[in-house]
Amino acid sequence: AQSVTQLDSQVPVFEEAPVELRCNYSSSVSVYLFWYVQYPNQGLQLLLKYLSGSTLVESINGFEAEFNKSQTSFHLRKPSVHISDTAEYFCAVSDRVFGNEKLTFGTGTRLTIIP
């Protein structure tokens, strides 16, 4: 069985400051990794994904995440946040081997940007 841990339920950050949202997973098999963003009263949007290849993946709006296999982590970072980044962020994992029909989600991190 897989699990995803997002240790920080809420992260307040000043505008233009850097941020890191932490994600750790446990799995007995190789995995695919994802970050989703949810704005208030909306569905989840895929922010970025790691399927294979380079362990550093980037999104179009300045976020990046690095897959660290030895630490089983997939932390999300942004060097300078904006007010518009205020949202809830979910880390998710699916396994490569036994079927990837399902995603296992973390409990989410609410990112609040302080002007």
Partner 1 sequence: SQTIHQWPATLVQPVGSPLSLECTVEGTSNPNLYWYRQAAGRGLQLLFYSVGIGQISSEVPQNLSASRPQDRQFILSSKKLLLSDSGFYLCAWSLGLGEQYFGPGTRLTVT
Helices (H) and strands (E) in the chain, counts: 0, 12
Binding test (CB under 8 A) with partner 1, winner from 46, 83, 97, 114: 46
Residue 14: exposed, middle, or buried by beta-carbon count in 10 A (0-12, 13-18, 19+)?
A: exposed
Q: 93 is written with which tokens?
A: 């994992």
Name the one range near partner 1 by CB under 8 A: 14-22, 45-53, 63-71, 73-81. 45-53
Name the one range near partner 1 by CB under 8 A: 13-21, 55-63, 65-73, 100-108. 100-108
Q: Counting contacts by CB under 8 A, is residue 94 touching partner 1?
A: yes
Closest approach of partner 1 to the CB of residue 13, in Å: 20
Q: Counting contacts by CB under 8 A, is residue 106 touching partner 1?
A: yes
In total, the chain counts a number of residues equal to 115
Binding test (CB under 8 A) with partner 1, winner from 29, 43, 53, 60: 43
Picking from 22, 24, 21, 11, the residue whose alpha carbon sits closest to that of residue 93 is 24
DSSP 8-state symbol, 55: S
How far is Cα 70 from Cα 102, in angstroms, rounded to an integer? 24
Residues that bind partner 1 (CB under 8 A): 32, 34, 36, 41-46, 49, 51, 90, 94, 100-103, 105-108
